[in-house]
Amino acid sequence: MRIYKVGGAVRDRLLGRPVTDIDWVVVGATTEDMLAKGFRPVGADFPVFLHPKSGEEYALARTERKSGRGYGGFTFHASPEVTLEEDLIRRDLTINAMAEDDQQNLTDPYHGQRDLEARLLRHVSPAFAEDPLRVLRVARFAARYAALGFTVAPETLDLMRQLSESGELQALTAERIWKEISRALMEDQPQVFIEVLRACGALNVLMPEVDALFGVPQPQAHHPEIDTGAHTLSVLEQAARHKQPLTVRWACLLHDLGKGLTPEEEWPRHIAHEFKGLKLIKAVNERFKAPRDCQELALLVGEYHTHGHRALELKPSTLLELLQSFDVYRRPQRFEEFIAACEMDARGRKGLEERSYPQADYLRGAATAARSVAVQPLLEKGFKGPELGEAIKRERLKALKAYKETASS
């Protein structure tokens, strides 16, 4: 048997990037050969094995053929006769279809190295169109390598467009889509992921609510970039630049969905877009079965981001309601993430990226003031049940009034 490094490990070594996980392909071996060497099979009938020591994935060379709709509709053929070149041709991009032996000799039948130099994400063969997940993968790689100057080859974008129009994307499960979305959002340039999906028509299929934001104007005085879609991309860009976690990035992407519902005659104003957007945010959350913390933060940021921007003008009673809505007493981290999302929203405006955001510290101070109200003295005064709840609220309101006065003096 012959063993080669393949995929990301080869690509990233040639790019001079750190290699995290290594995928291997094994040519000229059978399942029995692998088991005899102590490899553990990952599944009952899939020719992929884990190395007994390193735990890395070793796959028998295989060919693949589409045999129906969706992901279940794939048949593969693994045997010792399958060549390295035959295995590489089933892969998505030329830069992912190179192999390397233990002497670092490169096998590159589809010119991945040439495309690395040309900074092109290009499909290996027309069989690319057999797996719609590749639309998302390519957009994700575009987000990851944008800073290096990579773009999607026009002919690959054409194939991605055909896949998007064919209805094949709908055959993907929520889990597989979310895995790609969540990884893409954590890349350095997550906005490029959305741009590429949009350019090939996949955004309109996967998240029409986000697609609808492009072409919707906002008031120039607050939003020099005007376009709501452009603004959303900038907010995402800022979130990545400020190393925000996935929850915040997801909330950033969805925070303004309500603006896509504004009747044209009301443009460029978007009255009550925060509230109107909630049902759209809920729909997107559920479509991809986003994790609970992502879902929750997206809804809260959608509803309250304007409160965040107006923090310094809010009445103490409104501040208190905001803090109660976030249950800041038990969930301080979630409120911190809300503040971060608001700040990214403010910075995601053309020319205002570096402007300070005093609302952030003001909101933190308000949370601290409200949280500093001690329950024990109220218990000692004999309050219980609903009366205790009311008493705590009164004390918190007092604390917020005092906070607002000191903060503004």
Binding site for ligand ATP (CB under 6 A): 7-8, 21, 23, 91-92, 96-97, 131, 133-134, 137
Q: Please tell me whether 119 is known to bind a ligand.
A: no
Pick one of Mg ion, ligand ATP, none as the site partner of residue 296 (Cβ within 5 to 8 A by kind).
none
Q: Please tell me whether 361 is known to bind a ligand.
A: no
Chain residue whose CB lies nearest ligand ATP: 8
Q: Toward ligand ATP, which CB reaches closer, 7 or 201? A: 7
Instruction: Say how many residues make up the chain.
Output: 409
Residues that bind Mg ion (CB under 5 A): 8, 21, 23
Angstrom distance (rounded) from CA 52 to CA 40: 7
Q: Toward ligand ATP, which CB reaches closer, 13 or 350? A: 13
Structure tokens at 241: 């630049």
Q: How far is the CB of 143 from Mg ion (least distance, A)?
A: 16
Q: Please tell me whether 8 is known to bind a ligand.
A: yes
Q: What is the dihedral of CA 250, 255, 259, 261, to 10 degrees?
A: 60
Q: Toward ligand ATP, which CB reaches closer, 91 or 273? A: 91
Q: How far is the CB of 133 from ligand ATP (least distance, A)?
A: 5
Chain residue whose CB lies nearest Mg ion: 8
Write out the H or E segment, with its range, that includes residue 57: strand 57-60
Q: Toward ligand ATP, which CB reaches closer, 48 or 290? A: 48
Q: Cα angle at 65 between 64 and 68, to 5 degrees?
A: 135
Q: Toward Mg ion, which CB reaches closer, 59 or 300? A: 59
Q: How far is the CB of 21 from Mg ion (least distance, A)?
A: 5
Angstrom distance (rounded) from CA 110 to CA 89: 8
Half-sphere CA count of 229, side-chain side, radius 13 A: 18
Q: Please tell me whether 183 is known to bind a ligand.
A: no
Write the Ramachandran bin of 403: left for phi over 0, alpha for psi from -120 to 50, otherwise beta.
alpha
Q: Is the dihedral of CA 190, 191, 193, 194 positive or negative?
A: positive
Write out the H or E segment, with its range, that includes residue 183: helix 174-185
H-helix segments, 39-173: 84-89, 112-118, 133-145, 154-165
Q: Please tell me whether 2 is known to bind a ligand.
A: no
Pick one of Mg ion, ligand ATP, none as the site partner of residue 92 (Cβ within 5 to 8 A by kind).
ligand ATP
Q: How far is the CB of 94 from ligand ATP (least distance, A)?
A: 10
Q: Cα angle at 3 between 88 and 64, to 5 degrees?
A: 30
Q: Toward Mg ion, which CB reaches closer, 57 or 227? A: 57
Q: Which residues are annotated as a binding site for ATP?
A: 8, 11, 91, 137, 140
Known binding positions:
8, 11, 21, 23, 91, 137, 140
Per the annotation, where are the binding residues for Mg(2+)? 21, 23
